[in-house]
Structure 1
């Protein structure tokens, strides 16, 4: 992807991600505050909700593609891997290192934003499939 396209696309990706992250954090907070799940498990649930929101927004706005079945399953694989990484990182930070759950989630979100952008732009929504 040319550099002149990458930055604006990343900004759109981050903006769409902010909407998905709002859904993610709402589910996370509700499950933790209701004492229904531990922060790492609640975060994984929230991540899956956020992923659904992100797929729809990114397909149409960021990558300007139709939400095809191929893109959907690729996004799903990426989202499941990210949700698992999210849960593992949250467990390490909150249980292992005793970082407060909200601070831990902010750190994990920042890391996964960059990683999932790279995967989704190069694989899920690539414009010139081989």
Structure 2
């Protein structure tokens, strides 16, 4: 069993490392998101949904900076990657609002638990869309960049 897992990891090492980096960046962005959420709710500046969406903006800024640099080593310029990132994040923003409304307000879950569930579900969307579209390499750009070194 261990040999099979080791072989699978070796075959998919680049993907596994990219996903692990994405999770690390996501945890950092989530810390900013959750801190903003908790601060706003606990100090009664906003309810769970509005506070979550405010935290989402904080987390998105952290996510863009770290993912473009470390996770995806994007060969796209910021002018090319940022609008794509914003499109993916915009959909994730709407999903976050809907899920938080459903989980925290309609189902009555504790707002931090609702946010944890929401974060896990939205992560599936964002990783896939960032990897395949927002930070996808421009054809030939990596080869050109290596040739410059």
How high is the TM-score relative to the length of structure 1? 0.92
| 1: CA distance, partners of 2:87 / 2:41 | 26
Q: How does 1:1-130 map to 2 (within 5 A)?
A: 3-65=12-74, 68-129=78-139
Residue 39 (structure 1) shift: 0.2
| 1: CA distance, partners of 2:90 / 2:59 | 11
Residue 128 (structure 1) shift: 4.2
Superposition CA RMSD, Å: 1.7
Contact 1:48 1:80 in 2 (8 A): no
- 1:89 partner SS: helix
- 1:84 partner SS: helix
Contact 2:104 2:114 in 1 (8 A): yes
Structure 2 segments unaligned to the other structure (5+ residues): 1-10, 140-149
Structure 1 segments unaligned to the other structure (5+ residues): none
Larger Rg: 2
Equivalences, count = 129
How high is the TM-score relative to the length of structure 2? 0.81
